[in-house]
Amino acid sequence: MSTSKKISKKDIGKILSQWSQEFTVLVPSKEGNVSKMARWDGKDTRFMDSHRNTVHPVKANFFPPMEEMFSFQKNKEGYHIEPAPPDEHKLLIFAIRPCDANALAILDMAFKDGYEDPYYLSRRKDTVLIGLGCTNPYDSCFCTSMGGSPSDSTNVDIMLTDIGNEFLIEEISEAGKELVAKTEDLQEAKKADEAKAKKVKETSYDKVTRKIDTRDIDKKLLACFENKDYWEKVSAKCISCGICTFLCPTCYCFDINDDSFKKRGARFRSWDSCAFPVYTRMPMENPRGEKWRRVRQKVCHKFEFFPMNFGSIACVGCGRCIRLCPVNWDITQTIESVPEIT
Amino acid sequence: MNQESERKPRILGFLCRWCSYAGADLAGTSRKKYPANIEVIRVPCSGRVDPLFVIKALRLGFDGVLVSGCHPGDCHYQTGNYRTRRRMAITKKFLEYVGVEPERIQASWVSASEGGKFAEVVTKITKELKEIEPNRLFDDEE
Amino acid sequence: MKNSEIEQRLRQEAKALLEQGKVDCIIGYETGSLKFTTTPLITRNKDDVERLIVSPFIVNNLSVYLTEIKGKVGIIAKGCDSRSIVNLIQDNKIAREDVVIMGIPCPGLIDLNKIELSLGKDRDELDNVTRDNDRVVITIDGKEKDFPITEVLFDNCLECEFPTPREYDVLLGEPCAPVKSEVSKKTSIKELEAMPRGERWNYWKEEFSRCIRCYACRNVCPACFCQRCFVEESEPQWVSPTPKWQDNLMFQVTRNIHVAGRCTDCGECERACPMNIPLRSLTKKMYDIVDEQFHYKAGTDKNASPLLTAYEAAEVEDFIR
């Protein structure tokens, strides 16, 4: 008895419309030729044609480049503080890539650690993730080395696999099962469809050719922490811009700043990056004033400190940092070149 | 009394300490009449004015900016005002290209003895700025 | 001269410089980790010079590294890069005798973004891209497609005035002529100028609402060498670190004015921008303003005073009351 379902590509518009009744549906979109997950316009389904992965990681939908935390105003009674209006949209993200879904799981850990971040978590709550397996990974992708794969469904609610004219559906979570159950216009999948999906997954896996070895990477990094020569060499061409951290799906550093307008003020938080020298600037001293220290921080945070605290590497292998770097600084080359422990 | 509305347009003036500021002083002591729309920041030399100040003034909602220094050849520091001239020339052209009305970026030479000229300059600039829209370039919500 | 011959000469030259102790460090290009991509090679090791390459994809302006590297440096420079080096010399950021410039006449670089846009394919999906004089041949899915260079070179290369380095110790290859072609960009400076002023402002408002303030534009720029940028000042805080369009635009406009007379139109800011903001429509305009008003072209004469520190007694004054 086969219970799995599939979606005909022709019916995507219909199905997204159904989902739009309950959710705010986000789909891969382009703004000024920069792709990101944004609200579906209710009509166009051509976004699927060119979607490999978005430039903006999906984190931007939960932890945006800037957000207002609260605003304040002085009136006759004193200061009045107004929290930012809660985000009550129930999000459904369609065609999220496995790496980005895995990255959200990493961010969840960070934003729940000790202090529960209300801004991130309120947006993240009740979000439904519809994953779409990659059939055409970039040459910068290395998810298979980071515990994922182009068809990894660990952190999505529903997984779709492209089998030509249809997407085969796999219900992963309870929320996913519920959603599939109440969705109309789905078709019954046949045995042949499942076989096809299996083949697609295998082929996609092999298309990810960039491989790194992360065995004992935390120990190796610990051992070479003071190896200035190594870090200087690795960081030589870095220009200390914020691209790799801002557009990393797992980087979560932020800055907080008060802005005043004519009659009120507001506190904003915005993305910050350990690549900037001012990130750690303080009176008298900047512990990461030199470039090699900043590059070391970035690498070690992802591959040494985060695993130490959370038991998982804070990199999913989406390859954005390699793809978007103006000087082609490549984290996989760095990880591969970390000296062996002697 | 609503001072805010009376002071429209608002002009920020950067006046050099040696010439234009003294000129403005003279305008006052000789009881020349000019609109009260200008707010003045005294600078050691017009050469101190980074174009950043001009843009910041617009960002803060001033309708116009006046940079004023000594006449060419009269700079207390010999060449400060020549440098201002180059800087303001490109600033004005460039901001116009980006979409800022040229009336908002103003420059003048006013010497310490030209109280009358200072009053005249401020009157003219105020008139010009009244003819264009108030500055909503960087319109924040309020 | 073919790229492979230039490469051979370059490697010999670089090796000799290191061996004879004339320089401590070589800055050049090597093959990058992605298809077609090249990446800066910064090395003190003479064995590494074998990795130096020359190709139509050597996009980086390497002079950005000069201010941070200690000791004498041998650097590879295209036309625009050499002018950036001259700027640094004019501004006393480096001494002429501390750099050995290996100049490469540059017939223009291939803009992979343009190819991606016109073919609707990403760069890693292309099989091959080769330059053949006035044409670029792109192989995709086994089929060859022919483009005139005017469609696939970077805009700044199409409008480049000085493809041959202005300053060098050794020139690798024969001097080459400028391409001198109209740019093929969607919104060119001309079109922007034809818009009503308010619309122009709104255009930039729209473009800069995408900016995430990664500062890649500033950090790839060899003219942006301030120890501390005004955006990072907190007392007073000139620009808010929150990436609102107002502050983004204010940052970029001020940056452009600050690098006036130093910008050599190398196009690195626009290329580096991950948010696809047409920054060159700002920088090139400033380049033109400087040229029109002061007949000054950045980095063409190492003995000239920098634009904003020099003056002539009689100069544009019509705007001053």
Q: Looking at residue A171, what is its pLDDT?
A: 95
Contacts of B61 in chain A (CB under 8 A): 262
Do A271 and A211 meet the contact criterion of CB atoms below 8 Å apart? no
Q: Give the gap in angstroms from C-alpha B128 to the nearest C-alpha of chain A.
A: 25
Contacts of A246 in chain C (CB under 8 A): 212, 214
DSSP C35: T
Mean pLDDT across A139-164: 96
Contacts of A66 in chain C (CB under 8 A): 242-244
- Which of A262, A263, A268 is best to mutate for the B interface (most B CBs within 10 A)? A262
Cβ–Cβ below 8 Å for A33 and C38: no
- Same-domain check for residues A143 and A227: no
Gap between the Cα atoms of C8 and C3, Å rounded: 9
Domain range C110-152, CATH architecture: Roll (3.10)
C253 → closest Cβ in B55, B73, B83: B55
Q: Looking at residue C180, what is its pLDDT?
A: 80
pLDDT of C313 strictly over 50: yes
Fold of B3-131: Rossmann fold (3.40.50)
Note the pLDDT tens digit of each residue in A295-332: 999 999 999 999 999 999 999 999 999 999 999 999 99
Gap between the Cα atoms of B110 and B23, Å rounded: 6
- Same-domain check for residues A168 and A221: no
Contacts of A271 in chain C (CB under 8 A): 212-213, 243
Mean pLDDT, rounded, of chain B: 92
Q: Looking at residue C186, what is its pLDDT?
A: 57
Vertex A143 angle, CA A138 and A145, to 5°: 125
Mean pLDDT, rounded, of chain C: 94
Note the pLDDT tens digit of each residue in C119-144: 999 999 999 999 988 899 999 999 99
- Same-domain check for residues A282 and A153: no
Which amino acid belongs to residue A331? I
Mean pLDDT across B30-44: 95
Residue with tokens 């991509």: C37
CB-based contact, C286 to chain B, within 8 Å: yes
Do A317 and A142 meet the contact criterion of CB atoms below 8 Å apart? yes
Q: Looking at residue B2, what is its pLDDT?
A: 46
Least Cα distance to C255 among A246, A276, B96, B55 occurs for B55
Nearest residue on chain A to B138, alpha-carbon basis: A261
* B neighbours by CB contacts (3+ pairs under 8 Å): A, C
Gap between the Cα atoms of B87 and B82, Å rounded: 9
- Same-domain check for residues A299 and A169: no
Residue C188 CB partners (closer than 8 Å, separation 6+): C281
Boundary residue ending a domain (A207, A232, A251): A207
pLDDT of A1 strictly over 80: no
Boundary residue ending a domain (A207, A228, A260): A207
C187: left (phi over 0), alpha (psi -120 to 50) or beta: beta
Note the pLDDT tens digit of each residue in C134-170: 899 999 999 999 999 999 999 999 999 999 999 999 9
Total CB pairs under 8 A between chain A and C: 113
pLDDT of A79 strictly over 90: no
Q: Tell me the longest C-alpha to C-alpha distance in chain A.
A: 73
For the packed helices C197-208 and C245-258, what is the interaxial angle rounded to 10 degrees? 100
DSSP A301: I
Q: Give the gap in angstroms from C-alpha C207 to the nearest C-alpha of chain A.
A: 8
Residue A342 lies in a domain: no
Residue A281 CB partners (closer than 8 Å, separation 6+): A289
Cα torsion C51, C55, C57, C59 to 10°: value is 70
Boundary residue ending a domain (A152, A186, A207): A207
Least Cα distance to C269 among A248, A239, A237 occurs for A239
pLDDT top residue among C185 and A45 = A45
Cβ–Cβ below 8 Å for C216 and A241: yes
Mean pLDDT across A92-99: 97
Q: Looking at residue B142, what is its pLDDT?
A: 47
Contacts of C258 in chain B (CB under 8 A): 51-52
What is the DSSP track for A115-140? S--HHHHHHHTT-EEEEE--SS--TT
Cβ–Cβ below 8 Å for A237 and C68: no
- Same-domain check for residues A234 and A311: yes
Residue A212 lies in a domain: no
Note the pLDDT tens digit of each residue in A24-52: 999 999 998 899 999 999 888 888 888 89
Gap between the Cα atoms of A261 and B95, Å rounded: 23
Q: Give the gap in angstroms from C-alpha B138 to the nearest C-alpha of chain A.
A: 11
Q: Looking at residue A22, what is its pLDDT?
A: 94
Cβ–Cβ below 8 Å for A261 and B61: no
Domain ranges for chain B: 3-131
Cβ–Cβ below 8 Å for C204 and B99: yes
Nearest residue on chain C to A234, alpha-carbon basis: C42
Mean pLDDT across C2-6: 89
The number of helices, as runs of H, and strands, as runs of E, in chain C is 11, 8
C320 → closest Cβ in B56, B93, B107: B107
Please, which pLDDT band fits residue C185 given cuts at 50, 70 and 90? low
- Same-domain check for residues A79 and A173: yes
Please, which pLDDT band fits residue C50 given cuts at 50, 70 and 90? very high
Cβ–Cβ below 8 Å for C65 and A332: no
Q: Looking at residue C235, what is its pLDDT?
A: 87
Note the pLDDT tens digit of each residue in C207-247: 999 999 999 999 999 999 998 999 999 889 999 999 999 99
Mean pLDDT across C74-88: 97
CB-based contact, B85 to chain C, within 8 Å: yes
pLDDT of C3 strictly over 90: no
Please, which pLDDT band fits residue A66 given cuts at 50, 70 and 90? very high
Domain ranges for chain C: 3-109+153-309, 110-152
A326 → closest Cβ in C117, C241, C271: C271
Q: Looking at residue B141, what is its pLDDT?
A: 59
Gap between the Cα atoms of C58 and A261, Å rounded: 45
State whether residue A243 is helix, strand or coil.
Answer: helix
Q: Give the gap in angstroms from C-alpha A262 to the nearest C-alpha of chain B.
A: 6
- Same-domain check for residues A310 and A188: no
Residue A274 lies in a domain: yes
Cβ–Cβ below 8 Å for C315 and B82: yes
What is the DSSP track for B58-79? HHTT-SEEEEEEPPTT--TTSS
Note the pLDDT tens digit of each residue in A264-301: 899 999 999 999 999 999 888 899 999 999 999 999 99
Nearest residue on chain A to B141, alpha-carbon basis: A261
Mean pLDDT across B71-78: 94
Least Cα distance to A250 among A69, A101, A145, A51 occurs for A101
- Same-domain check for residues A275 and A135: no
Contacts of B121 in chain C (CB under 8 A): 321
Q: Give me the domain span that covers residue A176.
A: 5-207
Query: How do beta strands A66-75 and A265-271 pair?
Result: antiparallel
Q: Looking at residue A48, what is its pLDDT?
A: 84
Nearest residue on chain C to B138, alpha-carbon basis: C246
User: Residue B65: beta bridge partners?
Assistant: B12, B105
Gap between the Cα atoms of C41 and C44, Å rounded: 10
Note the pLDDT tens digit of each residue in B83-124: 999 999 999 999 999 999 999 999 999 999 999 999 999 999
Residue A21 CB partners (closer than 8 Å, separation 6+): none
Mean pLDDT, rounded, of chain A: 94
Token pair for residue A225? 């922490």
Residue A22 CB partners (closer than 8 Å, separation 6+): A90, A92
Note the pLDDT tens digit of each residue in C247-270: 999 999 999 999 999 999 999 999
- Same-domain check for residues A174 and A44: yes
C219 → closest Cβ in A236, A239, A270: A239
Cβ–Cβ below 8 Å for C42 and A66: no
